[in-house]
Structure 1
Amino acid sequence: MKIMLTLFSAAALAFASSHALAGDPRAGESKAEACIACHGADGNSPAPAFPRIGGQYESYLLHSLRGYKSGDRPNPIMADIVKDLSDRDLRDLAAYYAAQDSGLYVPRRGQ
């Protein structure tokens, strides 16, 4: 019984920790003002010079944003935009854009 309680407690703590690290899309929307000019409000810029980030995996977006901030992913424009953002801000932005529709048309088989 004690082992089961320990396992349950560990699982609950892991779930709570992962949830606490997840971004908040609603908070991300309010932080996305600087992103809209290039990527569009929903992350689907019609300009080919700017990547479509709407609907991307949250983990990929967060990894990219952290890379811009740390300099591991060199891009002077993005580095300047994220330099003063907290990790919470980056998580929220990643969650917001991940929650958007990708805007890409994917034909179904037979269409």
Structure 2
Amino acid sequence: MLLAALVSIAALQVPDPDQLYADRGNIASAEQAVAIWEERLTRDPKDNPDSTASRFFLAETLLDMNRRPEARAELEKVLDAPVDPDWAPEDQEFKAKARALLARLG
């Protein structure tokens, strides 16, 4: 899931996502990746805090870290996020995945 975190960070317009991917070995842990991710999601509105992809990948990472309540909260944010007209098919896909994962979590 660390790779999912890195992909999502790249989707949040990191200045040089290719360099971030190349440096993935420098990220010490999934916890550090999540901290970077959370900071990017909340720092600047232009970074699209409503990104269904970013929120979904964050939820998966949190589940891998046994942070189930936080993962559920992120999945709920995916469902609550508005559909971006430029990304409607992708948003709908991540909303469906979030619904399915929430159902499995019970």
TM-score, structure 2 normalization: 0.30
* Higher helix residue share: 2
Q: For the pair shown, which has the larger CA radius of gyration, 1 or 2? A: 1
